[in-house]
Amino acid sequence: MNSLCAGRAGWSVRSRYPTEMAEQWTLDDLRVFCAVVEAGSLTAAGDIVGLSLSAVSGRIKALEEVFGTTLCHRSHKGVRVTPAGRRLQAHARDLLEKVALITEDVTEFGTRPRGLVRLVANTTAVTEHLPELLAAFLAAHPKIDVSLVEGVSADVLKHVREGQADIGIFTPGPPVADLSTFPFREDRLVLIVAKGHPWAARASIDFHESLWSDHVCLQRSAALFQYLGQRARDQGRNLKGRIHVAGFDAMARLVARGVGVGVMPESAARRLESAQRLSVLTLNDAWADNPLHVCVRAAPELLSPATRALLEELVHGVLPSA
């Protein structure tokens, strides 16, 4: 069994079992080893980590003594990593990334929030509700970066549960009692048609009726396209995508010119209907209600300051005091 302790250049791991050699390595040793693997030579690795060739070679030899196996073969042509070396590299990368996250996360407390917040959200949130909000947030928090990824609501919940995202924005469906959730925005999916379309005078329509028409769809990777495709399959039909576009603005322009009909959030449709001469029809289907909720895995008071700062911006005053 090993213990983590202060070493000669940071943290190190020592074996609790007595051996003939002092089994010890440091995070700096792992950084040097990863540099050797990635650079392909001891000399190049030395330039990266700021050590001499002999010092780099000594670090590698020390690691091989600790682990009792050859990690890489050295020659005048460079280094060739052994299977054991590849295994160590994979573990080293994970460990170094974790240590960096620990340092960043703990250092944030008691200081102005800083760091990276990983946000995953569905199409409606990404395209209609987040751009201005995130722009204002980033301007107010210059030391916080945000990684934004789009996904269907099921993937949003999966990423948050598995720790791949810090915050998620999703449309409620199955129970999420294991997550902390907060209301974000109310929205609804609607059908848009050109002003001259036979349905233009109607106030509402059932989604299955629209499936007889060609649709102007978002790109295939978009969360909303995948969601609508599944709703069509639920009714034993296919969504007839005549063309796929990158955003709601392009969708509206094509619908207005008679290419097909389209489904988008009401917030986007109302923004575009006048400029593009569109008619907006309410979808009668219950699933067309499209409220958006925010979720996090931990209680808000346990989140890093950077994550909590963004969460507070998203849900405006419904969080308990930290």
Quote the CA–CA distance of 243 and 260 in Å, as a whole number.
9
Query: What pLDDT shows up at residue 111?
Result: 56
What is the pLDDT averaged over residues 205-209? 97
Query: What pLDDT shows up at residue 11?
Result: 44
Strands 115-121 and 144-150, bridge-based pairing: parallel
Query: What pLDDT shows up at residue 144?
Result: 93
Query: What pLDDT shows up at residue 109?
Result: 57
Query: What pLDDT shows up at residue 315?
Result: 92
Query: What pLDDT shows up at residue 9?
Result: 39
Of the candidate ranges 48-52, 197-201, 219-223, 258-262, the one whose mean pLDDT is the lowest: 219-223
The per-residue pLDDT of the chain, averaged, comes to 86
Q: What is the pLDDT of residues 140-192, one digit of tens each?
A: 999 999 999 988 888 899 999 988 899 999 988 778 889 999 999 988 999 99
Is residue 100 within 8 Å of residue 114, measured between CB atoms? Answer: no
Give me the residue spans of the domains in the chain.
2-108, 116-186+291-315, 189-288
Residue 44, pLDDT above cutoff 80: yes
Specify the CATH class of 2-108 in words: mainly alpha
Superfamily of structural domain 189-288: Periplasmic binding protein-like II (3.40.190.10)
Query: What pLDDT shows up at residue 154?
Result: 84
Q: What is the pLDDT of residues 282-311, one digit of tens each?
A: 999 999 988 899 999 988 888 888 999 999
Quote the CA–CA distance of 37 and 72 in Å, as a whole number.
8
Per cent of the chain over pLDDT 90 is 53
Q: What is the pLDDT of residues 123-132, one digit of tens each?
A: 889 988 999 9
Query: What pLDDT shows up at residue 239?
Result: 95
Contacts of residues 33-36 at CB distance under 8 Å and 24 or more positions apart, as own/partner, are 33/59, 33/60, 33/63, 33/71, 33/85, 33/88, 33/89, 33/92, 34/89, 34/92, 34/93, 34/96, 36/60, 36/72, 36/79
Superfamily of structural domain 116-186+291-315: Periplasmic binding protein-like II (3.40.190.10)
Given this chain, do its domains 116-186+291-315 and 189-288 carry the same CATH topology?
Answer: yes
Query: What pLDDT shows up at residue 104?
Result: 65
Residue 115, pLDDT above cutoff 80: yes
